[in-house]
Amino acid sequence: MTQHTRGLLAGLTAAAIWGGLYVISKVVLDVLPPFVLLTLRLLLGIAALGVALRLRGGGLGIARKDLPEVLALGLLGYGVSLGLQFVGTRLSTAANGAVITSATPAFVFLFARLILGERVSGRRIAALVVSTIGVLAVLDVGAARLAPDLFWGNLALAGAGITWAWYSVLVRKATRRLDTLPVSLLAFAGGLAIAVPGAAWELSRAPIGPVSLPTVLGVLYIGLISTAVAAYLWNKAFELVEAGVASLTFFAQPVVGALLGVWLLGELATPGLLLGGALIGLGLWLASRPERDRAGVKSYRGKTP
């Protein structure tokens, strides 16, 4: 299996895991406030990746001079971005959140060009357009509202998408010279700088609800699978594949979420779901085809193994 294929599979697996997050989060958030859940997610993620690092051996392997950069990554991705997502969803609607944050890959293309100097070819732009049309076909765009009373919520959601794109591109920049596993672990730690104060504020206003076994299992799944495993795989995708290509795997998230809704919640499989899934697959295929340099030689322009 090539490096390029491994990177795409890592990104698709991460997006697929996050696609199922809504169904489980719906149960857990009935009991735990958002920032309390985020704090638990990050702590469980740190514990899980810490065990993985211990089993692998060799320690963190990150110099002290690089710690501020990696912690700032986590502050941006798991503090600012997820925090804005929580605030935006609360002040706006879940449908708006799905539609607005679907613009994330477009911002990845922009930041990858500005920060990494990645080439944005016509085919890559076409792939982005096709995939975006696909995800909008999957989502219930008609349920989204841009009314004035939702302005601040929609603005926060837009900020969440932009900052997650920025975080993802900076991950690629960092993992060009640093190991992805400790980078992922320390990024979780950086996110606690916002998650913990947010959780403390929530708990000062209202206690948590009655905790049941499904709640505990849900928290464990979200922390260990949706956070530790999925976030590591997402970061690994950006290590192995150009940021613009890796970002398109993000579009698998709403497709998997819709499929799980059909399977677990008895929702209908709409023609938009089937069409959108096909378009997203087409867009990913277009973006994944090797570029030709000026000499006509095929190249994925990825990280050298």
Give the model's pLDDT for residue 299.
44
Q: Do the domain assignments include residue 301?
A: no
- Which range is least confidently modeled, 170-174, 177-181, 279-283? 279-283
User: What's the pLDDT score for residue 105?
Assistant: 86
Query: What's CA 94's distance to the chain center, in Å?
Result: 16
Residue 302 in domain = no
| Domain-located, residue 235 | yes
Residue at 295 is within a domain: no
Q: Is 154 a member of any domain? A: yes
Q: Mark 226-260 as b/e (b = at least 16 C-beta within 10 Å).
A: bbbbbbbbbbbbbbbbbbbbbbbbbbbbbbbbbbb
**pLDDT confidence of residue 270:** 67
Task: Specify the pLDDT at position 140.
Answer: 61
pLDDT (mean) for 18-38: 83
Decide if 279 is inside a domain: yes
Residue 24: which domain range?
3-290
> Over 80: is that where the pLDDT of 304 sits?
no
Q: Is residue 300 part of a domain?
A: no
* pLDDT score at 96: 66
Structurally, the chain folds into a number of domains equal to 1
Residue 300 is predicted with a pLDDT of 43
pLDDT at 264 over 60: yes
Any domain includes 303: no
